[in-house]
Amino acid sequence: MRRVRRRRRAATGTVIVAAAVALLGGCGIQGTDVIAAGGPASFQAFLDREYDMLLFFRSPDGGLSPVIRSTAVSAAFGEGYVEAGAVETDGPVPTEKVVTTLLAGPRKEDRVAGLSTSLPLVRGGKVEVEPSPGGGVTARLPFALAGLDSTALRQLTCTIAYSQDADGQVVVTLTGQDGASRSGTCGLAPGDTGNVPAATGTGARSPWPGTPG
Amino acid sequence: MPRVLLIEDDPSVREGVELGLRRRGHDVRAAATGETGLAALAEFRPDLLLLDLMLPGMNGVQVCRQVREHSQLPIIMLTARSDDFDVVIGLEAGADDYIVKPARPEVIEARIRAVLRRIEDSGPGRPAIEVYGELTIDRGGLTVTKAGRPVALAPSELRLLLHLSAAPEQVFSRQQLLEHVWDHSYHADARLVDACVARLRGKIEDEVGSPRYVQTLRGFGYRFGPL
Amino acid sequence: MTIGLRIGPARRRKDAGQEAGQGAAATDNRSRIRAFGLRTRLLLAFLLVAGVSAGTTSALTYREARTALLETAQDTAVTSFRDHAQQTAFSLPLQRGAALEDVLRDIARKGKPHPWVVFAEYGSVRASSGENPVSTVITPELRRAARANPHGSFERVVKDGVPYLTIAMPMVFKTSPYSVLPSGLVLYAVMRLTDEQVNVDALLVAARNGALPGLAVALVPGLIAARSVLRPVRKLHEAARSMGSGRLDTRIPVRGSDELADLARTFNESAGQLERSVRELREAEERARRFASDVSHELRTPLAGMLAVTEVLDEDADGLDADTARAVRLVSAETGKLAVLVEDLMEISRFDARAAELNADEVDVAETIRKTLQNRRWTDDRVRTDLPDGIRARLDPRRFDVVIANLVGNALRHGGTPVTVRLRTEERTPGTAVLITEVMDSGPGIRPESLPHIFDRFYKADAARTRSAGSGLGLAITLENVRLHGGTIRAGNRPEGGAVFTVGIPLHAEETGG
Are residues B104 and C307, on separate chains, in Cβ contact within 8 Å? yes
Closest CA to A169 of C493, C364, B63, C180: C180
| Tens-place pLDDT, residues C88-117 | 888 878 887 888 888 888 888 887 777 788
For residue A195, is pLDDT > 50?
A: no
Model confidence at A202, pLDDT cuts 50, 70, 90, reads very low
Q: What is the ipTM of this complex?
A: 0.84
Q: Which of A201-205, B180-184, C201-205, C274-278 has the lowest mean pLDDT?
A: A201-205
The neighbour count for residue B46, using CB atoms within 10 Å, is: 19
Task: State pLDDT tens for residues C418-442.
Answer: 899 999 998 877 778 899 999 999 8
Higher pLDDT, B4 or C132: B4
Nearest C-alpha in C relative to A15:
C52
User: B168, B177, B166: which is closest to B225 by C-alpha?
Assistant: B168
Say yes or no: do domains B3-116 and B129-224 share a fold: no
pLDDT of residue C290: 84
Give, in words, the CATH class of C73-201: alpha beta
**What pLDDT is attached to residue A48?**
78
Alpha carbon distance B119, B74 (integer Å): 14
Report the length, in residues, of chain B.
227
> What is the average pLDDT across C59-83?
83
Please say if the pLDDT value at position C5 is more than 60: no
Q: Which of these, B71, B153, B158, lies nearest to B118 by C-alpha position?
A: B158
Please give the DSSP secondary-structure letter assigned to residue A116.
B
For residue C496, give Cα distances in angstroms to C381, C415, C421, C437, C445. Answer: 20, 14, 16, 19, 10
d(CA A11, CA C369) in angstroms, rounded, equals 76
Instruction: Output the DSSP codes for B65-88.
Output: HHHHHH----EEEEES-TT-HHHH
Percent of residues, chain A, with pLDDT higher than 90: 0
**In a structure prediction context, what are the per-residue pLDDT tens digits for chain B, which is 227 residues long?**
789 999 999 999 999 999 999 998 999 999 999 999 999 998 999 999 999 988 888 989 999 999 999 898 999 999 887 767 788 889 999 999 999 888 888 899 999 999 888 765 555 556 678 899 999 998 888 889 999 899 999 999 999 999 999 899 999 999 899 998 998 888 888 889 999 999 999 999 998 888 999 999 887 899 998 88
Which residues have a Cβ under 8 Å from the Cβ of B90 and sit 6 or more positions away? B53, B60, B61, B64, B77, B79, B98
State the smallest CA–CA distance between residue B220 and chain C in angstroms. 6
Domain ranges of chain B: 3-116, 129-224
Q: Determine which helix (DSSP H) or strand (DSSP E) holds B5, and give its type and residue range.
A: strand B3-7
CB contact under 8 A, B12 and C375: no
pLDDT band at A91 (very low <50, low <70, confident <90, very high): low
CB C81 within 8 A of CB C186: no
**pLDDT of A30-79, one tens digit each?**
778 888 888 888 887 777 777 788 888 888 888 888 888 887 654 444 44
CB contact A76 to C (< 8 Å): no
A70 interaction partners in chain C (CB closer than 8 Å): none
Do A24 and C59 lie within an 8 Å CB cutoff? yes
Give the best residue of B19, B77, B186, B192 to mutate against chain C (max C CB count within 10 A).
B186
Task: Specify the higher pLDDT residue, C40 or A21.
Answer: C40
**What pLDDT was estimated at residue B62?**
92
Contact of B77 with B99, CB cutoff 8 Å: yes
Q: Which residues of A touch C153 (CB under 8 A)?
A: 34-37
C55, A24: Cβ pair inside 8 Å? yes
Residue A179 to chain C, least CA–CA distance (Å): 32
- What percent of chain C has a predicted confidence (pLDDT) above 90? 16
pLDDT of residue C463: 55
Residue A24 has pLDDT above 60, yes or no: no
> Does any CB of chain C come closer than 8 Å to the CB of residue A33?
yes
Bridging pattern class, strands C392-395 and C361-364: antiparallel
| C113-131 pLDDT, tens digit each | 777 888 888 888 888 888 8
C touches A (3+ CB pairs < 8 Å)? yes
Task: Considering only the beta carbons, identify the residue of A31, A46, A189 that sits closest to C181.
Answer: A189
Say whether pLDDT at C322 is over 80. yes
pLDDT at C14 (0 to 100): 39
Least reliable range by pLDDT among A52-61, A127-136, C304-313: A127-136
Mean per-residue pLDDT for C441-467? 78
Chains in touch with B (≥3 Cβ pairs < 8 A): C
**What pLDDT is recorded for position A126?**
80
Cβ pair A144, A178 in contact under 8 A:
yes
Mean pLDDT on C327-352: 89
CA dihedral C482, C484, C487, C492 (to 10 degrees): 30
More confident residue, A29 or C28: A29
pLDDT higher than threshold 90 for residue C301: no
CB C135 within 8 A of CB C200: no
pLDDT higher than threshold 60 for residue C466? no
- pLDDT value at C496 more than 90: no
Amino acid at A65: S
Subunits that touch chain A (at least 3 Cβ pairs < 8 angstroms)? C
C16 pLDDT above the threshold of 70: no
Q: Does domain B3-116 have CATH number 2.30.30.100?
A: no
pLDDT at C511: 41
* DSSP type of residue C453: G
Q: Can you tell me the mean pLDDT for C180-185? A: 84
pTM of the model: 0.54
Chain A residue nearest residue C121, CA to CA: A113
Whether the pLDDT of residue A203 is over 70: the answer is no
Options 2.60.120.330, 3.40.50.620, 1.10.10.10, 3.40.50.12280; CATH of B129-224:
1.10.10.10
- Are the C-beta atoms of residues B190 and C397 closer than 8 Å to each other? yes
Residue C468 confidence (pLDDT):
53
What's residue A193's pLDDT? 47
Mean pLDDT, chain A, rounded, equals 73
Mean pLDDT within A131-144: 83
Residue C174 CB neighbours (<10 A): 15
Contact: chain B with chain A (3+ CB pairs below 8 Å): no
Residues of chain B neighbouring C372 (CB-CB closer than 8 A): 186-187
- What dotted CATH number matches C361-506? 3.30.565.10
Residue C402 — pLDDT band, cuts 50, 70, 90?
very high
